[in-house]
Amino acid sequence: MAERERPRRLLRLVQEGRLDLLRDELHPEDIPEARSRRWGRLGDTLLHHAARMGHRDVLEFLVRELGMDVEVANGDYKRPIHEAASMGHGECVSFLLERGASVDCLKKADWTPLMMACTRKNLEVISSLVEHGANPLLRNKDGWNCFHIASREGHPEVLRYLLDVSPGIWDTESTIRRTPLHTAAMHGCSRVVELLLERCHYRPDSRDKCGVTPFMDAIQNGHLDIARMLLEKHQEGHGHTILTLLSLGADLQAQDGKSRSALHAAVAGQQAEATRILLRAGLRDTPDGSGTLAQQLARKPEVIQVFQESQVTT
């Protein structure tokens, strides 16, 4: 084998998890170069690649027998534990922690291994990091903690765990004052929104720096089931929100997957003011996928009165 091909072969063997061939391939004189060699634009080491691919045995070989440093960082300051956590490789995370890897080390943009683990639904990895002292309240450069990240990914199981180990973790805002509820509503994570409304205490119509509320995020992105949940939970202030949406040119004619409109959402939430504004804005009461008109969902006298005043008939 040509000398210039040897590093590529070593990398391939690590990526494929071929520990037997890796042992045979590495001669004593190759070890110093293998230990310090970097690959790619960011300068990943063999340890980064082993952790990313989830090869615990290769990882252990590189650390124990080649003496590679578990805290080695690439050009983005990402360490092997970031790689293992982000890919959900529990055995690799456990080994690196046993060998003294820093549990709250920061990569570029101030992401911790726990934050990266929360991009996946792997409670084994998340709980392992927390049990080894990871701080769930740390924030990245955008002001997001791991709870915010899990809200974006739509993982209610992860959020329940985080609330159990850190009950106040929900009370957080990004640098532009967006809450996890904003994020979940914008991304259409209905199960997460339901959980957040049940277990957390977000202010009705909390606004980010641009004045956007979770309800506005839901409407603007066509998540009317979430808009309905927010209307039902947060009883006040949505009239002003809808007026703001109209002034911004939001498409209130949008329908969800069951052909329900914003009017269905407002009436299901028994929101008289919101219903009145939508009807005055010209939103027609059309049947949803089940043939139900929004008017048929009216229960409160004041909502029924709105339809009577607007002369809307079934």
pLDDT of residue 95: 98
What distance in Å separates the CA atoms of residue 85 and residue 87, rounded to the nearest whole number? Answer: 5
Q: What is the pLDDT of residue 251?
A: 59
Query: Tens of pLDDT along 190-235?
Result: 999 999 999 999 886 788 898 778 887 887 777 878 887 887 675 5
Q: Measured in Å, how far apart are the chain's first and last C-alpha atoms?
A: 81
3-class SS of residue 21: helix
- Residue 277 inside a domain? The answer is yes
Residue 309 belongs to a domain: yes
Which of 78, 105, 132 corresponds to the end of one domain? 105
With vertex at residue 152, the alpha carbon angle to CA 246 and CA 112, rounded to the nearest 5 degrees, is 140
Cβ proximity of 305 and 272 under 8 Å? yes
Q: For the chain, how many structural domains are there in total?
A: 2
Q: Is residue 298 part of a domain?
A: yes
Q: What is the pTM of this model?
A: 0.78
Query: Do the domain assignments include residue 26?
Result: yes
What pLDDT score does 225 carry? Answer: 80
Look at residues 261, 199, 264, 265 and name the one whose alpha carbon lies nearest to residue 232.
265
Neighbours of 196 (CB within 10 A): 27
Neighbours of 209 (CB within 10 A): 11
The distance of Cα 244 from the centroid of its chain, to the nearest Å, equals 27
Tens of pLDDT, residues 107-131? 999 999 999 999 998 999 999 999 9
The letter for the amino acid at 35 is: R
Region of residue 171 (left: phi > 0; alpha: psi -120 to 50; beta: else): beta
> What gap in Å lies between CA 69 and CA 63, rounded to an integer?
7
Q: What stretch of H or E contains 264?
A: helix 262-268
Please give the Cα distance from 78 to 270 (Å, whole number): 50
Residue 31 lies in domain? 1-105
Residue 160 in any domain: the answer is no
Tell me whether residue 149 is in a domain.
no
Beta bridge partners of 44: 39
pLDDT for 254:
65
- pLDDT at position 204 is 67
- The answer to whether residue 301 is domain-embedded is yes
Q: How far is CA 195 from CA 180, 184, 201, in A?
A: 11, 10, 11
Q: Residue 300 belongs to a domain with what CATH number? A: 1.25.40
85: domain CATH number is 1.25.40.20
Which residues in the chain show pLDDT less than 70? 1-4, 204, 232, 234-257, 311-314
Residue that finishes a domain, picked among 48, 80, 105: 105
Q: CA angle at residue 134 from 171 to 49, to 5 degrees?
A: 120
| Confidence at residue 303, expressed as pLDDT on a 0 to 100 scale | 87
Domain boundary among 105, 135, 154: 105
Which pLDDT score is estimated for 210?
81
Rounded Cα–Cα distance for residues 42 and 73 (Å): 10
